[in-house]
Amino acid sequence: MTVTGMTHERLLELIATYGAEPMGWPEDERDAARALLSADPGAYSQALIEARAIDGVLSLEEVPEPSAALTQSILAAAPSAPRSRTGLLAGLAAMLFPQGLRWPAGAALASLAMGLVGGYAYASTGIGYDQADSAYYAAFGFDSGEDWISLE
Amino acid sequence: MSGIGESDQIARAAGGDRAAQAALVNQNMPIVFRVAYRMLQDRAEAEDVTQETFLRAWKQLPDWQPKAKFSTWACTVALNLCRDRLRKKKPVLMDELPERVDTALRPEEALASRQGIEGIAEKIAALPERQREALTLCALEGMSNIEAAAAMDVGVRALESLLARARRSLRASLSAQIEGD
C-alpha cells in the first residue's frame, strides 16, 4: 500500500531515520515524501545537510572480507544428494539381472505361491501316506499294517 | 532473489544440488558475515557465527517455508547467535545507557576529520546493541525497513526509533571528537 499523504513532521522523521537519500526511505512513503520535498525544499535543507554528513561517514565504513576457507567449510557441511547403489554387489546384480531385480523377485514369489497351492491341493485329496504304506506292506506280502504288527 | 526462484533454489540445495548450494552461499554468506562482524568486531568470531548460521540452514532447508527471504532468515539467526555471544561477554545491556548529547555536526567537518572517518567502525561498535543491529541492516546493508524489522523481530516503528537514535548517537560522537581535535 502506498502512502499518499505526507506531513512535514513525517518527512523530517524519514530524513533523520533513514538518511538524506530517498532510495533509503520506505518504499510506500517515498513518492509522497519526494513530492513534499520538491514542493518546499528549503524547509528540509538543514535536515538533509545533517543527514548527509552521517550518510557520508557511514559510506566510508569498511568490513574485511570473509576467508575463502569459510566458504569451503560451509559447503563441505552441506547435505549430500541421496546415494545411488554402488559397489561390488550392485555391479553383480546389474550383470546378472540387467533388467533389474523386479522380474527375479516376481518369479520367486510366483514359485512360492505355486508351491503353497500345490501342496495344499495334494494334502486335501487324502492320497499320500496311507496309500504309500499299503503299497509297502503289499510288497512284503502283507495285506495291511496290522499283519506286519502281529508278526512282530 | 526471492519468491519462486529462491524457493526452487532452496529445494535443489536441500536435495544435495551442489550448484544450488554454492549459489545460496555465495549470495547470502557475505551479508551474514558482515552483519556478524559489525556486531562482534572480531573476524574469527564473525566467521564462526556465519558457519553456524549455515549449518542451521542446511538442517532447516528440507522443511523450509518461504515466509521470508533466505537472507532475512539468515540474518535473524546470525543476530541471535551474536546476541548470545555478546551476552556472555557483557551481561549489562548497552541499550540502557543514555544517549550522548547531540551537538551540530557539519558535513564538511565530519568529512574533514580523517580520524573521525577512520574511527567510524569503532563508533558503530560503541553503539548500543539494538541500535547497531538496526543501523547495520538498514543503513549499511540496504535492507528495507520491513525486512530489517523482521530480521530483528521488532515492529517497523521500533526499528525506526532505534535507527533515529543510532544516527543521533553517531552524530554526537563525531561532533564530540571534532570538538576535541
Domain spans in chain A, listed from the N-terminal domain onward? 8-59, 97-151
Nearest-angstrom CA–CA distance, A105 and A150? 54
Using a pLDDT cut of 90, give the percent of chain A over it: 44
Q: Look at residues A122, A90, A17 and name the one whose alpha carbon lies nearest to residue B156.
A: A17
What value does the CA radius of gyration of chain A take, rounded to a whole number of Å?
47
On the question of pLDDT at A92 being above 80, the answer is no
Nearest-angstrom CA–CA distance, A13 and B107? 19
Nearest-angstrom CA–CA distance, B10 and B66? 9
Alpha helices in B66-155, H assignment, sequence order: 70-89, 107-112, 114-118, 120-125, 129-134, 145-152
- Contact: B58, A57; criterion CB under 8 Å: no
Confidence of residue B104 (pLDDT cuts 50, 70, 90): low
Contacts of residue B167, Cβ cutoff 8 Å, sequence gap at least 6: A16, A17, A19, A51, A54, B135, B139
Q: Give per-residue pLDDT as tens, A17-72.
A: 999 999 999 999 999 999 999 999 999 999 999 999 999 989 988 899 999 999 99
Q: Look at residues B61, B18, B63 and name the one whose alpha carbon lies nearest to residue A80.
A: B18
Q: Please tell me the predicted confidence (pLDDT) of residue A38.
A: 96
Residues of B in contact with A66 (CB under 8 A): 29-30, 33, 46-47, 50
Nearest-angstrom CA–CA distance, B144 and A61? 20
Which residue did the predictor score with more confidence, A116 or B181? A116
CB–CB contacts below 8 A, A to B = 127
- CA distance between the termini of chain A: 110
Mean pLDDT over each residue of chain B, to the nearest integer: 86
CB B76 within 8 A of CB B133: no
CB B38 within 8 A of CB A57: no
On the question of pLDDT at B135 being above 50, the answer is yes
Most confident listed range (A67-76, A118-127, B172-181): A67-76
Residues of A in contact with B160 (CB under 8 A): 13, 17
Indicate the DSSP class of residue A144: S
Residue B20 backbone phi and psi in degrees, to 5: -65, -40
> Does B28 contact chain A (CB < 8 Å)?
no
> Does A64 contact chain B (CB < 8 Å)?
yes
Residues of B in contact with A83 (CB under 8 A): none
Residue recorded with cell 518504499: A27
> Does B78 contact chain A (CB < 8 Å)?
no
Nearest-angstrom CA–CA distance, B89 and B84? 9
Task: Report the 10 Å Cβ neighbour count for A69.
Answer: 9
pTM for this one?
Answer: 0.71
Average pLDDT over every residue of A101-118? 69
> Does A1 contact chain B (CB < 8 Å)?
no
Domains and CATH numbers, chain B: 3-89 (1.10.1740.10), 100-180 (1.10.10.10)
